[in-house]
Amino acid sequence: MTIRTRFAPSPTGLLHIGNARAALFNFLFSRHHGGQFLLRIEDTDRARSTQHAVDVILDGLDWMGLTPDEPPVYQFARQARHAEVALALLEAGHAYRCYCTQDELKAMREQAAAEGRPPRYDGLWRDRDPSEAPAGAPFTVRLRSPRDGETVVDDLVQGEIRVANAEMDDMVILRADGSPTYMHAVVVDDHDMAITHVIRGDDHMTNTFRQSQIYAAMGWERPRFAHLPLIHGPDGAKLSKRHGAQSVVEFREQGYLPEALDNYLLRLGWGHGDAEVLSRDEQIRLFDLDGVGRSASRMDYTKLTHMNGVWLRAADDGRLARDVLARLEGRPGLVLDEVAAARILRLMPGLKERARTLVELADAAAFLARTVPLPLDAKASSLLTPDARALLHGFAGEIAALEPFTAAEIDAALRRHADAHGRKLGQLAQPLRAAMTGSTTSPPIDATVEALGRDETLARIRSVLGAAIGG
Ligand code: GLU
């Protein structure tokens, strides 16, 4: 049997990380077993299902490296097939036409409430002769659910769960306008797509019992089910805006790498020994549903940020430099030309050591794209004392003559110059950093100076010396 899983989002305009994690688990499970991962867009809510909402899902999955193995299936386009199956159920006697009016259904609900019963359809048309139907009246199609026995789901995460069939009323599978209900469409689609494993959030658990009844009525083999516990906020409450980012787009904007988000979402609710940082290949090799925990997980943004830092340091410098340039685009006071791009790429090994997100990385790299005079923050200004400026003035002479212009030579020159003037290295290096970056933090100063190049280094030193004379 070929394992086939699917991710079946409703296009609502965002890809929630709970859903993204479900997609990841479906992807990894199918890959681990040499199977296929499919995508079904559940676009039956026509008001919400815009092309933009669909693109958000497609882009998000693509960004996370979870590209489906077949073109997406669009649920709305399959309405005729959903109706066909409903008619087959009618013909087989597993479903019936219900002519109840809205008023009758309302009265049914009110009576149930008055008697303290859950609001259920009372089976009014279940055994009525169709000849009693009012001529030309609209009808819905309801499943003739079994009244006795129970429905058992052997969930691959939650274990065995049983529900008495008497607990479930005869649900509508086809509405009066001929459109299928969600419950019905999902079953028909999963069957037709030959899905073997349905892995989804445990908010769908009750749907699974309902859906099982449709499989049984059609005589179709049910897929196996795995219901994933939800992701909560750090305080244990339902994840919401006030906790922080929730959608894949937000995490992307906040500077998280897809591989870090993947890795974090995998570890949130799945474990394999002490393994923390796992490459995609390792994830595929190790993932299986028996490692998925049964209780809700808590989103830990600090841990995610830490993990992002780990992946950032492992990421390719060219890729990071391109991302940084895109993030700096449009910021005032920067010149993002080829020279700046080359400097950013050159200093990337040092820059990425210090950043935890791409936003921090871009902030830390911005000085490389500035032109003199640089804005100086308060701490940087305070380092540029008359004494420090005099030292820098002399050091500029060394820089002008330095050959080759490499980090190692720059470091040696710094030490020599500080030594010759009876100063500690920091007494020269710190003011130099202030002049180069406008701040007091940066990658090692020798690498920073090397990345800026001789001319720019001299221009930046002259600029602070000039400001000193002018001031
Ligand atoms: N479309 C449903 C949702 O977005 C998921 C259906 C399923 O996975 O069976 O919640």
> Which atom of ligand 1 lies closest to the CA of 12?
4
The yes-or-no verdict on residue 229 having pLDDT over 80 is: yes
> Which atom of ligand 1 lies closest to the CA of 22?
8
Mean of all residue pLDDT scores within the chain: 95
pLDDT of residue 67: 96
Split into its structural domains, the chain has a count of 4
Identify the domain boundary among 176, 196, 228: 228
Shared domain check, 214 and 101? yes
Shared domain check, 240 and 137? no
Question: Active-site residue numbers?
Answer: 241
Shared domain check, 240 and 322? no
pLDDT digits (tens, 9 = 90+) for 16-55: 999 999 999 999 999 999 999 999 999 998 888 999 999 9
How far does residue 308's CA lie from ligand 1's centre (Å)? Answer: 29
Tell me whether residue 259 is exposed, middle or buried, using C-beta atoms within 10 angstroms of its C-beta: 0 to 12, 13 to 18, 19 or more.
Answer: buried
Task: Judge contact between 384 and 435, C-beta under 8 A.
Answer: yes
> Which atom of ligand 1 lies closest to the CA of 207?
9
pLDDT of residue 471: 34
* Within-domain flag for 471: no
Q: Give the separation between CA 452 and CA 339, rounded to whole angstroms.
A: 9
> Which atom of ligand 1 lies closest to the CA of 42?
1
The yes-or-no verdict on residue 79 having pLDDT over 60 is: yes
pLDDT of residue 304: 97
pLDDT of residue 467: 62
pLDDT digits (tens, 9 = 90+) for 257-316: 999 999 999 999 899 888 899 999 999 999 999 999 999 999 999 999 999 999 999 999
The tokens describing 240, both together, are: 């919401």
**Which residues, judged by CB distance below 6 Å to any ligand atom, belong to the binding site of ligand 1?**
8-10, 42, 186, 200, 204
As a whole number, mean pLDDT of residues 314-332 equals 98
Shared domain check, 143 and 90? yes
How far does residue 8's CA lie from ligand 1's centre (Å)? Answer: 5
Q: Give the separation between CA 214 and CA 195, rounded to whole angstroms.
A: 15
- Closest-CA residue, ligand 1 atom 6, reads 8
Give the percent of the chain with pLDDT over 90. 90
pTM of this prediction exceeds 0.85: yes
Ligand 1 pocket test: pick from 12, 56, 73, 200 the residue with the most ligand atoms within 8 Å of its Cβ. Answer: 200
Q: List the CATH number of the domain containing 241.
A: 3.40.50.620
Ligand 1 pocket test: pick from 26, 37, 42, 48 the residue with the most ligand atoms within 8 Å of its Cβ. Answer: 42
How far does residue 199's CA lie from ligand 1's centre (Å)? Answer: 10
Q: Give the separation between CA 67 and CA 344, rounded to whole angstroms.
A: 31
Shared domain check, 159 and 259? no
As a whole number, mean pLDDT of residues 327-351 equals 97
Residues for the chain: how many in total?
Answer: 471
- Closest-CA residue, ligand 1 atom 3, reads 9
* Within-domain flag for 408: yes
How far does residue 20's CA lie from ligand 1's centre (Å)? Answer: 12
pLDDT digits (tens, 9 = 90+) for 427-471: 999 999 999 999 999 999 999 999 999 999 999 999 999 864 433
pLDDT digits (tens, 9 = 90+) for 359-387: 999 999 999 999 999 999 999 999 999 99
∠ CA(220), CA(226), CA(229), 5° rounding?
A: 145
∠ CA(41), CA(152), CA(269), 5° rounding?
A: 55
pLDDT digits (tens, 9 = 90+) for 57-70: 999 999 999 999 99
How far does residue 5's CA lie from ligand 1's centre (Å)? Answer: 13
- Closest-CA residue, ligand 1 atom 2, reads 9
Shared domain check, 148 and 94? yes
Task: Give the domain extent around 98.
Answer: 78-228
The tokens describing 259, both together, are: 């591989």
**φ and ψ at residue 21, rounded to 5 degrees:** -65, -40
